[in-house]
Structure 1
Amino acid sequence: MREGTSVSTHVRRAYEQFLAGQTPADDTVRSLVRESWERSRNSGIDPDEADPGHDSGPLSDADFEAYRATHRLAAVRPLVQSLMLDDIAGSGVVVALTDKQGRLLWVEGDSSARDAAARINFVENSVWSEETVGTNAPGLALTVNRGVQIIGPEHFSGPIQKWNCAAAPVHDPVSGELLGVIDVTGGPAAAAPFALAAVRSVVAAVERELQSRAVDLGAPETFAPAPATRRLTVLADGPAQWHDGAAARSLSPRHAEILLLLQTYSEGLGTEQLATLLSDEGLGAVTVRAEISRLRRDLGDVLTSRPYRLIVDLESDIDELRRHIATGELIAAIRTLGRGGLLAESMAPGVIEIFDEVREDLRSRMFGTGDVTALNAWVASPHGRDDITAWNALAQRLPASHPQRAVAEGRVRLLDRRFGVRR
């Protein structure tokens, strides 16, 4: 949590000159910073005894929770988490979202970074405006309405001069209203040149997301109640479909795989876990986060991050299939499975496991009941055509005089020769 050695000592010397009532030379400190120092001094901030955020009058816990839950940035917080939190883990920095007054709505990062930030009161519900704390990146970004980076001794308050921060404002893409800032605060990582560029790129993604959520107040569907449950269909021929009460929307195979896996693992999945379930060829974390970002853009706020977890009720035709199996409706189960859709086509290890599970559940229930009609339907399906165990079970259950028994016995011999396995 210490400033990098790249911070020039002449900045600190200029700061000391400024506090002594002298005007630092123009080439010793950025004009952006010097002007902020002047505003901070004029606001009556004591650089030696300032208690960042203390004089802001924090809201009560209940009022604060209610306030941030309804803030415009609450809707895009999962996107910020998806794009930033995995990358900062272990880097000694925290990510903060503020409102337009500089109140910290969320401060996120690993526990050690958040604990260190708490020691300077960089915590949720404190206010880090320029008028309250003096020169700092989130406060200055709000004041000048553009992205800024503040390094070590450029801060006005002495207690925070061993920190670095980079922040950029977020605007409503339709009205242009200033909503708050996204900030990265911490040690050397927050002082790196790419830190501000990274924050700006996330702000751009957030504003695109906000724009995609903009509504036409004259459209009748704007005020229609949201469906309580969404539905995912993956077993039919053709693309997987997302149903949310409006017209069905086709999904890419990757997005359908992600949704199916998150529904299956309702407790949530980390980035690496999801990557492993999606591909056994080393799918990168960046690729996973990019797909999650696109999924949110297409479907809205349907999942959260760290871990990735669905935050809407989702049913699928896999659920329907499982219910048919559980209740012994085997013909209906075979028809619902059909040719398998995404389950049969996907190469994602996690989806292959789901396919293996439901197929084996169906076979086990079928063999347990000995239902000849179901066995006939199964061996006539794409999944049972080469199932030697099913053909053998059918042959054993049909009367010796039944014409289908001879066919079943012949298929057992054929499969035995073809695969060399007799069960």
Structure 2
Amino acid sequence: MPSRPARIPDDAAYRHEVLRAHEDLPAATSPDNDRRMVRDPVLESWRRSLDLLPRDAAAPVRAGLSGAELAEARRQHAFSAVLPLLQERLIDPAVEAGLLVALGDQQGRLLWLEGPSRQRTRAEDVGFTVGADWSEDAIGTNAPALALASGSAIQVAGAEHYVEAIQGWSCSAVPLLDPATGEVLGVIDVTGDDRAVGPLVLPLLRAAARAVQAELPQREDDGADTAPVPRFQRTDADPRTGDLELLITGRRTSLIRRGRVTACLSGRHAELLTLLHLHPDGMGAGELAESLYGSLDAVGTVRAEVLRLRRVLEGFTGDALTLGSRPYRLQGELGSDLLRTRAAVDAGDVDDVLAHYEGRLLPASEAPEIRRLREWTSTVVRALMLEIADHEQLWRYAQLPENGSDLEVLMAVLTLAPPDAPERAAAAARAEALEAEGQEERTGADVR
């Protein structure tokens, strides 16, 4: 029997084989067929789907969620506690690329759906809407359903879908797993044209899922003798519990977190907190003015911002973290992803660096001292990665926005990865695209 592809290839030959197989599903899925070219997960899903629903179904056959029932399902689900993180890490970039992002529960019901209005309108025609049931039982083979069933990342392209009405779409999905038990809590899906199954999509989804799992509140049980029941506390929790943590790398909106609760920080307050966090002995108003504005003329502005920040801290932390004067200094314990990253770099612990470093420090800040700290941090992290990281770690590092066009990192992946590693294929594809973009720019410059 010829070997079947381990992941979706881009070549037209595979697409043609899938279309031919789909024309006669009973024969294609028969155990006696020794010329199967369709991937095993898809074939197995086709077999199950044959017993469940017709191929010409136009929309999910089960009633979904709506109204108050949908609102309650959203409120209870783990995703509701981490939506800002997902918005920043996955939803915004995907929507800007013209793709749909769906978040579903463990039953395959779509709780959230974001995307360009034109794409959402097209998706409505096939029942891909908020509240709809996209389990395998309801709509057959599709990426969210297979990710839930297998507990693994999966891509489904075009005619690999069981129902003919949705074969104009492609999708990639990863399950959201409980970090403590491994239980499947839900699914994260990207849907659209062929770009939705490109080589960079699954790494992006996996990175988003890891970030979400790291942010999930701890599970609590209901005190019964049965299996624990997941209950997630959100903004109604008491903020005066847990360690304070400042999250300032790789985020357009910085956060301060305590226990299960997070609060967003303005750009200037994030800058002030970062500088005071890194200077435990304190800083004077003049030092802060020079560091933030590059001028002593801004001393009055600094004092006003410090007063506002003090009120923010009082409201969020009570007396756990206060802002003293003469000099300005933080009083109380405050951790940060930045200091954890620095400690991991000092220890040469690549996995720990990747666990805490989310990208460039306060990427939107133009404050002189923040810019210096940002460049220094990025430089030392990059140097560590290129020196001792393996190909899988380097590929994870390559997914950070700051490394989107870093050819040296991509070439390091290609050098270290074995020939059959998926990271190698994805790195090669990105490197080729960057080379092509560079050639176009050079050609345009020559023409001008």
TM-score by length of 2: 0.52
Q: Distance in 2 between the 1:5 and 1:33 partners?
A: 17
Q: CA deviation at 1:19?
A: 5.1
**Aligned counterpart for 2:262 among listed residues 283, 292, 302:** 302
Q: Distance in 1 between the 2:176 and 2:144 partners?
A: 11
Q: Distance in 1 between the 2:256 and 2:139 partners?
A: 36
Q: What secondary structure sits across from 1:98 in the alignment? A: strand
**Aligned counterpart for 1:79 among listed residues 75, 82, 85:** 85
Aligned equivalent of 1:88: 94
**Aligned counterpart for 2:55 among listed residues 24, 28, 47:** 47
Amino acid in the other structure paired with 2:137: E
Q: What secondary structure sits across from 1:198 in the alignment? A: helix
Q: Which deviations, in whole Å up to 9, do the C-alpha atoms of 1:90-115 show, x marking residues without a partner?
A: 42311111111100010112322222
Q: CA deviation at 1:30?
A: 0.8
Given the superposition, is the C-alpha separation of residues 228 and 40 from structure 1 closer, same or farther in structure 2, using an over 3 Å criterion? closer
The answer on 1:9 being equivalent to 2:19 is no
Aligned equivalent of 2:170: 164
| RMSD, aligned CA | 4.3
Q: Which deviations, in whole Å up to 9, do the C-alpha atoms of 1:269-323 show, x marking residues without a partner?
A: xxxxxxxxxxxxxxxxx9435x74xx4667755357xxx989xxx9xx99xxxxx
Bigger relative CO (Cα 8 Å, ≥ 6 apart): 1
Q: CA deviation at 1:87?
A: 1.5
The answer on 1:59 being equivalent to 2:65 is yes
Q: How does 1:15-414 map to 2 (within 5 A)?
A: 15-18=22-25, 23=30, 25-43=34-52, 45-48=53-56, 50-53=57-60, 55-210=61-216, 213-214=218-219, 245=240, 249=244, 251=246, 255=248, 287-289=250-252, 292=254, 295=255, 301-303=261-263, 339-340=284-285, 343-344=288-289, 346-347=291-292, 356=301
Q: Distance in 1 between the 2:100 and 2:213 partners?
A: 21
Q: What secondary structure sits across from 1:203 in the alignment? A: helix
Q: Are the counterparts in 1 of residues 49 and 136 from structure 2 also a CA contact under 8 Å?
A: yes
Q: CA deviation at 1:245?
A: 3.6
Amino acid in the other structure paired with 2:138: T
Q: Are the counterparts in 2 of residues 73 and 179 from structure 1 also a CA contact under 8 Å?
A: no
Q: Distance in 2 between the 1:297 and 1:141 partners?
A: 31
How many equivalent pairs are there?
277
Amino acid in the other structure paired with 2:262: V
Amino acid in the other structure paired with 1:15: H
Given the superposition, is the C-alpha separation of residues 135 and 346 from structure 1 closer, same or farther in structure 2, using an over 3 Å criterion? same
Q: CA deviation at 1:27?
A: 4.1
Aligned equivalent of 2:406: none
Q: CA deviation at 1:142?
A: 1.2
Given the superposition, is the C-alpha separation of residues 32 and 341 from structure 1 closer, same or farther in structure 2, using an over 3 Å criterion? farther
Q: Which deviations, in whole Å up to 9, do the C-alpha atoms of 1:366-394 show, x marking residues without a partner?
A: xxxxxxxxxxxxxxx99xxxxxxxxxxxx
TM-score by length of 1: 0.55
Q: CA deviation at 1:353?
A: 7.8
Q: Distance in 2 between the 1:162 and 1:201 partners?
A: 27
Q: Distance in 1 between the 2:105 and 2:145 partners?
A: 10
Q: Are the counterparts in 1 of residues 153 and 172 from structure 2 also a CA contact under 8 Å?
A: yes
Q: CA deviation at 1:25?
A: 4.4
Q: Which deviations, in whole Å up to 9, do the C-alpha atoms of 1:215-245 show, x marking residues without a partner?
A: 6999xxxxxx999999xxxxxxxxxxxxx54
Given the superposition, is the C-alpha separation of residues 121 and 343 from structure 1 closer, same or farther in structure 2, using an over 3 Å criterion? farther
Given the superposition, is the C-alpha separation of residues 214 and 158 from structure 1 closer, same or farther in structure 2, using an over 3 Å criterion? same
Amino acid in the other structure paired with 2:40: S
Q: Are the counterparts in 2 of residues 104 and 128 from structure 1 also a CA contact under 8 Å?
A: yes
Q: Distance in 1 between the 2:234 and 2:169 partners?
A: 44
Q: Distance in 2 between the 1:183 and 1:226 partners?
A: 23
Given the superposition, is the C-alpha separation of residues 39 and 110 from structure 1 closer, same or farther in structure 2, using an over 3 Å criterion? same
Q: CA deviation at 1:66?
A: 1.5
Instruction: Give unmatched runs, 5+ long, in structure 1.
Output: 219-224, 231-243, 256-285, 319-337, 363-380, 383-423
Instruction: Give unmatched runs, 5+ long, in structure 2.
Output: 1-8, 224-232, 274-282, 308-325, 328-448
Q: Which deviations, in whole Å up to 9, do the C-alpha atoms of 1:318-353 show, x marking residues without a partner?
A: 9xxxxxxxxxxxxxxxxxxx943885254369xx98
Q: Which deviations, in whole Å up to 9, do the C-alpha atoms of 1:168-201 show, x marking residues without a partner?
A: 1111112322111111111121121221222122
Q: Are the counterparts in 1 of residues 244 and 259 from structure 2 also a CA contact under 8 Å?
A: no
Q: Distance in 2 between the 1:133 and 1:28 partners?
A: 23
Q: Are the counterparts in 2 of residues 52 and 128 from structure 1 also a CA contact under 8 Å?
A: no
Given the superposition, is the C-alpha separation of residues 127 and 354 from structure 1 closer, same or farther in structure 2, using an over 3 Å criterion? farther
Q: CA deviation at 1:73?
A: 2.0
Given the superposition, is the C-alpha separation of residues 200 and 348 from structure 1 closer, same or farther in structure 2, using an over 3 Å criterion? farther
Q: CA deviation at 1:249?
A: 4.5
Amino acid in the other structure paired with 1:33: V
Q: Are the counterparts in 1 of residues 176 and 188 from structure 2 also a CA contact under 8 Å?
A: yes
